Structure 1
């Protein structure tokens, strides 16, 4: 019995020695300030230059997107980055078809204006679709969305979430668009994002601090 106990002690000791060292990164000084400033200074951009987003920039933003946490690491999203002008034009036209006779809030309310663009003439559109069978998929997509917004801002790009476009993308008559984007069966569009080089620097809207309560 003593030999067995001693052997188990040696095994446990060796196992502990083989465990990976736990590394905890704590940001200090300028790094920490940069992270917080990125969160506090990001704005929705609704005016863009004609300059296209580069592949390197897309790679940076998409890596940040897929590194978002998700329930049970299911990663229940499909993300498409659309830069083809013809597809962007068609998506915009599908929204205009859907919008006829309707009233909207925000920038979408101006859809009757000439040369209207639901994605603000951004040269890139990001489409995030989620698994309809996963009850937490939309929440996971929201986390991925925030990673997209913050990483884009960190490298000097502008973004704007496009909730109004979601209903259009999921209409039965627009399923050909989803097939064109190679979005699998059983998925639906959850959010869209315009992406490009910003041509404006909007001020921060009011934040309602009273919506935060600390329970002690």
Structure 2
């Protein structure tokens, strides 16, 4: 299997990290992979904010947990009540991925950038987790100002990055093959 397919098949969401920071060159490689993602009309409508500050990451997690507890979703409420739960899984850093407000397809384009970063991290043996629950922090303009995101961008997702604390769990079974091939009708 070639290295790209190997990274696709082996990547898992990491939820336990070692505390030491990533090497600068590894982080740069991962961020650069995000910059090379495809985007609508090559608009590249993303901005990456790298949060290394442990105090800020802990605060962001607490804000998210408060939002989760008030969500009315049983599974979120249960997670939020767990005193050990940390939205960023105590990773040494998180990348906040923001999209250009007036971009053509910022949700899709930033998702492509994130996938590139996740695969680049895996190729380097670095753990990552795409964090949709960060949206509870992003819902507060007052909190978002703490991230110093450039004007014209909205934070959409976050990604935790760090060295894996242990081996990855085996891949769960894929849910069938939801693939259909359509061909031109036979004459």
Answer yes or no: same fold by TM over 0.5. Answer: yes
Counterparts of 1:57 and 1:147, CA distance in 2: 14
Counterparts of 1:33 and 1:52, CA distance in 2: 29
Aligned CA distance change for structure 1 residues 103 and 121 (closer, same or farther; 3 Å): farther
Which residue of 1 is the match for residue 163 of structure 2?
197
1:116 positional shift: 2.2
TM-score (norm 2): 0.88
Question: Does structure 1 retain, via aligned residues, the 8 Å contact 2:69–2:76?
Answer: no
Q: 5+ residue gaps in structure 1?
A: 1-31
Structure number having the greater helix percentage: 1
Aligned CA distance change for structure 1 residues 108 and 121 (closer, same or farther; 3 Å): farther
Counterparts of 1:180 and 1:41, CA distance in 2: 35
Which residue of 2 is the match for residue 99 of structure 1?
68
Counterparts of 1:119 and 1:145, CA distance in 2: 15
1:159 positional shift: 0.6
Counterparts of 1:111 and 1:132, CA distance in 2: 30
Structure index of larger Rg: 1
Question: Which 4+ stretches in 1 moved above 3 angstroms?
Answer: 101-109
Tell me the alpha carbon deviations over residues 108-162 of structure 1, each in whole angstroms, 9 at most, x when there is no partner: 7422122321111111111001012123111110110110000000001011111
1:202 positional shift: 1.2
Alignment size in residue pairs: 182
Counterparts of 2:77 and 2:174, CA distance in 1: 23
Determine whether 1:72 maps to 2:72.
no
Determine whether 1:208 maps to 2:179.
no
> How do 1:109-128 and structure 2 match up within 5 A?
109-128=78-97
Greater mean deviation of Cα atoms: 159-168 or 180-189: 180-189
Counterparts of 1:151 and 1:129, CA distance in 2: 19
Which residue of 2 is the match for residue 63 of structure 1?
32
1:97 positional shift: 2.5
1:189 positional shift: 1.4
Determine whether 1:42 maps to 2:11.
yes
Question: Does structure 2 retain, via aligned residues, the 8 Å contact 1:170–1:189?
Answer: no
Aligned CA distance change for structure 1 residues 197 and 70 (closer, same or farther; 3 Å): same
Task: Give the secondary-structure state (helix, strand or coil) at the position aligned to 1:116.
Answer: coil
TM-score (norm 1): 0.77
Question: Does structure 1 retain, via aligned residues, the 8 Å contact 2:70–2:77?
Answer: no
